[in-house]
Amino acid sequence: MTLDLHSTKQLNDGRQMPRLGLGVWQSTGGDEIVAVEHALKSGYRHIDTAAIYKNEEGVAEGIRRSGVARKDIWITTKLWNDDIRAGKARDGFMASLERLKVDYVDLYLLHWPVPGIDQAWSVLEALQGEGLAKSIGVSNFQSNHLDGLIKGSKVTPAVNQIEWHPYLQQAELAAQCATLGIALEAWSPLVQGKFKDDPLFTEIGRAHGKSAAQVLIRWHLQRDVIVIPKSVTPSRIEENADVFDFELTEVEMKRIDQLERDGRVGPHPSHITF
- One residue of 135, 161, 169, 170 binding ligand NAD per CB under 6 A: 161
The nearest distance, CB 265 to ligand NAD, in angstroms, is 8
d(C-alpha 2, C-alpha 221), whole Å = 10
Residue from 53, 104, 108, 167 carrying the catalytic annotation: 53
CA 61 from chain centre, in angstroms, equals 20
- Cβ-in-10-Å burial (0-12, 13-18, 19+) of 188 comes to buried
- One residue of 187, 219, 225, 259 binding ligand NAD per CB under 6 A: 187
d(C-alpha 126, C-alpha 264), whole Å = 34
Q: Are 138 and 109 in contact (CB under 8 A)?
A: yes
Verify binding: residue 48, ligand NAD, rule CB under 6 A: yes
End-to-end CA distance of the chain: 40
The nearest distance, CB 113 to ligand NAD, in angstroms, is 11
124-153 footprint of ligand NAD as x/- string (CB under 6 A) = ---------------xx-------------
Stretch that binds ligand NAD, among 17-25, 55-63, 96-104, 126-134 (CB under 6 A): 17-25
* CB nearer ligand NAD, residue 100 or residue 131: 100
Q: What are phi and psi of 108, to 5 degrees?
A: -120, 125
Cα-based distances in Å from 218 to 37, 208, 240: 23, 12, 9
Task: List the interface residues with ligand NAD, window 219-238 (CB under 6 A).
Answer: 228-231, 236
The nearest distance, CB 250 to ligand NAD, in angstroms, is 25
The nearest distance, CB 194 to ligand NAD, in angstroms, is 8
d(C-alpha 19, C-alpha 17), whole Å = 6
Q: Give strand ranges (E) for the chain.
A: 8-10, 16-18, 22-23, 46-48, 74-79, 105-110, 133-139, 159-163, 183-187, 226-227
The nearest distance, CB 100 to ligand NAD, in angstroms, is 14
Verify binding: residue 32, ligand NAD, rule CB under 6 A: no
Would you call 53 a catalytic residue per the annotation? yes
> Which residues of the shown chain bind ligand NAD in the complex (CB under 6 A)?
23-25, 48, 111, 139-140, 161, 187-193, 213, 228-231, 236, 239-240, 266
- Annotated catalytic residues are 53
